[in-house]
């Protein structure tokens, strides 16, 4: 296995930063009022090695909405508790080829939530956790687990949560539909609200780099050295990221870049080079599927420079 010298990482992320500094393509998410108001020019890149070195450039301290990236860590927690077979059976691992909040995807997918990284599957996964812990304890448990991934306590951006919670009728409808098909494991509107709160975590690009770095490091947080996911489950989580992490454009992404990744409409994307490093990029302008335009460009560049495409087998 080849890995670049520490100094190379710095040079490469700085090159990526400069190259795409003037990229203005895409638009902030506007279906969640709060996200529409975020400064679209913010841009940060963090690379975390499995040994725990952190390289960063640009806006890496601003707390933005984690949004769909939370789905990865909810999946990790559920897999730890219920095992990998339960996830396949109760949620699924199928690509939908459709947007992240698609209702037809549920109908076409045998009335199943499809996978844990679309809204339906994420809410189903959350409902497994909330029913397991009970409503009185669930938030504290989930919150503690997320904080261990970041290596610091995370908090919800209250304004973002309120903004989404008062406009998320579409997700509520999905939760109810899943309930009717027997794929919701707790009160559907409770699970939907809990999921919305999880999506409203404020994270920095650095936090995301460390969270993703845990997956690059076989399930052990590279900074705190705490194991958060069984090693055998890491490839399962990465497989789901690699088939659906950028929604309906994941195929193109894997063809071009070849890194299991996850995007969020807050503008973040995480990518994992298993056994080597993780990259987190933040830039709010999104393409039509809801993936940050500039983050995709920066990650593609870094991945090429470091020969990180998983299919290269390096
Ligand atoms: N909270 C957002 C939603 O449910 C997350 C979507 C996303 O990041 N793709 O619509």
9 CA distance to ligand 1 middle (Å): 31
110 CA distance to ligand 1 middle (Å): 23
- Rounded to whole angstroms, the Cα distance separating 45 from 36 reads 21
pLDDT digits (tens, 9 = 90+) for 164-182: 999 999 999 999 999 999 9
In eight-state DSSP terms, residue 48 is E
Clarify whether residues 116 and 194 are in a common domain: yes
Which backbone phi and psi does 136 adopt, to 5 degrees? -70, -30
Q: Which of 169, 199, 229 is the last residue of a domain?
A: 199
Clarify whether residues 134 and 12 are in a common domain: no
Clarify whether residues 84 and 185 are in a common domain: yes
- Ligand 1 pocket, residue 292 CB under 6 Å: no
Clarify whether residues 209 and 226 are in a common domain: yes
CA-based nearest residue to 79, from 275, 236, 244: 236
- Ligand 1 pocket, residue 101 CB under 6 Å: yes
Clarify whether residues 72 and 194 are in a common domain: yes
Clarify whether residues 187 and 205 are in a common domain: no
Range of 164's domain? 68-199
- Rounded to whole angstroms, the Cα distance separating 124 from 245 reads 17
- Ligand 1 pocket, residue 67 CB under 6 Å: yes
Clarify whether residues 220 and 169 are in a common domain: no
pTM value is: 0.96
Confidence (pLDDT) at 223 = 98
CA-based nearest residue to 166, from 285, 39, 31, 28: 31
Confidence (pLDDT) at 244 = 97
| Percentage, residues of the chain above pLDDT 90 | 96
CA-based nearest residue to 105, from 174, 152, 176: 174
Which residues pair with residue 46 across a beta bridge?
56, 280
- Residue 40, number of CB atoms within 10 A of its CB: 17
CATH number, domain containing residue 76: 3.40.710.10
Q: Which of 145, 171, 199 is the last residue of a domain?
A: 199
15 CA distance to ligand 1 middle (Å): 30
In eight-state DSSP terms, residue 51 is T
Mean pLDDT of 244-266: 97
- Rounded to whole angstroms, the Cα distance separating 228 from 15 reads 33
Ligand 1 atom with the shortest distance to the CA of 247: 9
- Ligand 1 pocket, residue 114 CB under 6 Å: no
Clarify whether residues 147 and 178 are in a common domain: yes
ipTM, two decimals: 0.96
Clarify whether residues 17 and 44 are in a common domain: yes
12 CA distance to ligand 1 middle (Å): 30
The tally of domains found in the chain comes to: 2
Q: Which residue has the tokens 């990526």?
A: 16
Residue 1, in any domain of the structure: no
- Ligand 1 pocket, residue 265 CB under 6 Å: yes
């Amino acid at each position: 296995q080849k890995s670049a010298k520490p100094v190379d990482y710095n040079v490469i992320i700085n090159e990526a930063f400069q190259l795409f500094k003037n990229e203005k393509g895409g638009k902030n998410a506007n279906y969640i009022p709060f996200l529409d108001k975020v400064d679209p020019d913010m841009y940060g890149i963090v690379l975390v090695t499995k040994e725990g070195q952190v390289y960063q450039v640009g806006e890496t301290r601003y707390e933005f909405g984690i949004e769909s990236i939370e789905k990865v860590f909810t999946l990790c927690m559920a897999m730890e508790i219920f095992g990998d077979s339960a996830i396949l059976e109760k949620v699924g691992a199928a690509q939908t080829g459709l947007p992240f909040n698609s209702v037809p995807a549920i109908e076409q997918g045998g009335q199943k939530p499809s996978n844990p990284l679309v809204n339906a599957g994420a809410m189903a996964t959350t409902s497994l956790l909330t029913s397991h812990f009970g409503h009185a304890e669930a938030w504290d448990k989930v919150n503690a687990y997320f904080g261990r991934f970041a290596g610091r306590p995370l908090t919800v951006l209250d304004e973002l949560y309120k903004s989404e919670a008062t406009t998320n009728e579409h997700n509520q409808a999905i939760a109810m539909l899943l309930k009717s098909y027997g794929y919701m494991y707790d009160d559907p509107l409770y699970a939907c609200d809990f999921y919305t709160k999880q999506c409203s975590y404020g994270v920095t690009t650095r936090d995301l780099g460390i969270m993703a770095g845990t997956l690059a490091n076989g399930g052990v947080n590279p900074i705190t050295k705490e194991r958060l996911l069984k090693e055998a489950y890491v490839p399962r989580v990465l497989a789901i990221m690699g088939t659906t992490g950028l929604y309906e454009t994941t195929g193109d992404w894997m063809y071009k870049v070849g890194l299991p990744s996850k995007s969020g409409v807050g503008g973040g994307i995480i990518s994992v080079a298993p056994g080597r490093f993780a990259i987190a990029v933040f830039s709010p302008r999104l393409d039509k599927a809801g993936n940050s335009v500039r983050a995709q460009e920066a990650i593609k560049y870094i991945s090429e420079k470091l020969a990180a495409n998983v299919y290269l087998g390096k």
